[in-house]
Structures are given as structure tokens and as C-alpha cells.
Amino acid sequence: MNGAGNALEDLIYRFIATVAVVLPDDVSNKLLELARMENSPYGKIIYNAVLRNNELARSRKLPLCQDTGTPEFQVAFGEGFKHKEELLAAIRKAVAKASLNGFLRPNAVDPVYNKNTGDNTGRILPWIDVELVPQSSDAVVQLYLAGGGSTRASGAVVLDPADGWERVFRFVLELIAERGMYACPPLMVLGVGVGPTISIAAKLSKKALLRPLGARSPDPWVSEMELALEKAINQLGIGPQGLGGAVSVGEVHIEYGERHPASMAVAVTTSCWALRKGQLVIRNDYSFDVTTHEEGLIDA
């Protein structure tokens, strides 16, 4: 291993630690806004605990939730980025190190042999989606920690196009009425993806999930429907931790693509209140920016 590889490994390690310990700025601001909007009897108790927890996590440099989820990376390599292989290797090593040092809980369980691999690496983990971006020489690394509970309210279905958008939204509402309470509401972002197949819809729903809070769909109708779906979900009254209340969802984000004449696939990816995500831009000279956390990376 050369020195450059080590530098990237250290950088990714600190990045992982930061995402597990500190909420990104957009989520942490939205959380305060939701706390002010909640009026249920338990709302105050729960938000007090949540805000105290997040402060403690930051000051003690510990993962704010014990379920640090499945680390899902997305790497957009500029074609001119020179350290592609080193970066991929660094991610793998940094995930294992973060797991051994308590920034990530060992969450990778082999389903055939029912054995925990112990360090969040394995046949498919750490999960890394890679794309190539022309005319760029940077690497953009996104990390989402997908908690087990928050995954529970997610779902997907292929609908008949003739049933139209009302059926799409009914699917989302029924899913959340049945399972939203198990995913640590308020669900910070509920990402909806609509496309021709489940796999494409799922990918779009993840894109929706990671869209920054406050950013609406550029399509005026879709952005209107994002607001309508937020309102409708809140009308269900699930509230913080599913104990009843005014606010069950932070924002609904919808991403869509062309459907097939015979199919309209819908996927929903939900996050808990603790939407832990981060974005790191790395340049060829190893300088970097963290675009999601204004305070930068923690020392880990």
C-alpha cells in the first residue's frame, strides 16, 4: 500500500465516522423545524430525547444511533480522476476499520450460514454503486447508512398504468399506514421512485431519498404532488415514534422516469428521523470538501 492509499483510507474513515455521529446540516435543521410543529403529548418528550441524544453523540463522538445501518456508497468518478482503484480499496478498508473501532456496528449477516461477518464487509458489502462522469476530474463519494428499522417501511410494486397516479399514491399511503410506525418516524425523507421496472424505480427512490431537504422536484406538478403526499401522510396521524401526532414525515421526494406501456413500477425508500448521509468531493491532489456537513469531518 502506498502513502496515497493510506491518505484516502484515513479520509474515508473520518467521513464514515462523521456520517455515523453527526447529522447532515439539512436534516438537523429540518429536525428542529419538525420539533416546533409537533403538538402531541409525547412529541415534546421524544424530541427532547432526540435533541439531547444528538448533542451527546457529537460531544462524545459516538454513533448517534446504535444501528449504523448498511453502509451504501455511491461513487461518481470523474473520467479524469486518477485514484479510482485506490479509492475503492480505501472504502473497503475504512469500512472494516470503522466497524472494529465502534463507528459502525457489525451489521453484515450471511443469510445462508446465518453468520455475522464481523466488519461490514462480505460478498456484496460495502455496497458501492459506481458511475463515470465525463469531463470531470473529481470523485464524488456519497454515503447513506440504511438502518434496519427505516428499511422496514420501504416497499415496491408494479401497478397497472391505467390505474394512474392515484393508485401510486394509495400504495404509498397504505404502506405507511401499515408500517410507518416501525421506521422511527418522523420519516425524514420518504423517497418515491416511479419507472418501468422495480429495479429502476428502486434506484430512483434512493435518488429521491438523498435529494437535499428543501429541494423540490423541478417539475411543477411533481413538486405539487410531493407537498400533497406530505400532507396526506401527516393526516394519518402516526406522529413521532408512532405514538400519534401531527408530523409523520419530513419531506416527500418523487423522482420519475418513463414507464413501460404495460407497467408502472413504484418503489418507496424511507428514512427514519436520523437520516445519516454525507457527500465528499475528492480532487486529484487529495484535497477534499464535505458538502453536507458545514463543520467538516470529525477527528476520528
Partner 1 sequence: MRDELTIEAPVKDRSVLEKLRTGDVIYLSGLVATARDEAYRRIALMNEEPPLSLEGWAIFHAGPIMKRVNNEWQCLSIGPTTSIRLESYSPSFIERTGVSIIIGKGGMGRRTAEACRKHRAIYTVFPGGCGVLGASFVKEVIDVKWLELGIPEAMWILRVERLGPLIVTIDATGRNLAEEVKSEAKSRMNEALSTIREGLTKKRMHEEKP
Q: Choose the stretch contacting partner 1; rule: CB under 8 A; options: 104-112, 124-132, 191-199, 288-296.
A: 104-112
Q: Please report whether residue 260 would count as binding partner 1 according to CB under 8 A.
A: no
Q: Please report whether residue 34 would count as binding partner 1 according to CB under 8 A.
A: no
Q: Please report whether residue 300 would count as binding partner 1 according to CB under 8 A.
A: no
Q: Please report whether residue 118 would count as binding partner 1 according to CB under 8 A.
A: yes
Q: Which one of 34, 94, 181, 187 is in contact with partner 1 (CB under 8 A)? A: 181
Q: Please report whether residue 35 would count as binding partner 1 according to CB under 8 A.
A: no
CB of 73 within 8 A of CB of 128? yes
Q: Which one of 149, 196, 212, 257 is in contact with partner 1 (CB under 8 A)? A: 149
Q: Which one of 133, 157, 177, 300 is in contact with partner 1 (CB under 8 A)? A: 177
DSSP states of the chain as a string?
--HHHHHHHHHHHHHHHHHHHS--HHHHHHHHHHHHH--STTHHHHHHHHHHHHHHHHHHT--SSS---EEEEEEEEETT-S-HHHHHHHHHHHHHHHHHTTSS----EETTTTEE-SSS-SSS-SEEEEEEETT---EEEEEEEE-HHHHTT-EEEEE-GGGHHHHHHHHHHHHHHHHGGGG-SSEEEEEEEEESSHHHHHHHHHHHHHSPTTPPPSSHHHHHHHHHHHHHHHHT---GGGS--S-SEEEEEEEE---BTTBEEEEEEE--SS--EEEEEE-TTS-EEESS-TT-PPP-
Q: Which one of 7, 84, 165, 198 is in contact with partner 1 (CB under 8 A)? A: 165
Minimum distance from residue 267 beta carbon to partner 1 (Å): 18
Q: Please report whether residue 52 would count as binding partner 1 according to CB under 8 A.
A: yes
Which of residues 151 and 197 has its CB atom nearest to partner 1 in the complex?
A: 151
Q: Kindly identify the residues of this chain, within the stretch 220-259, that bind partner 1 according to CB under 8 A.
A: 221, 224-225, 227-229, 231-233, 235-244
Q: Choose the stretch contacting partner 1; rule: CB under 8 A; options: 8-16, 47-55, 280-288, 290-298.
A: 47-55
Which residues of this chain interact with partner 1, rule CB under 8 A?
41-42, 45-46, 49-50, 52-53, 56-57, 60, 62-68, 101-102, 105-107, 109, 115-116, 118, 148-149, 152, 161-162, 164-166, 169-170, 173-174, 177-178, 180-184, 221, 224-225, 227-229, 231-233, 235-244, 272-274
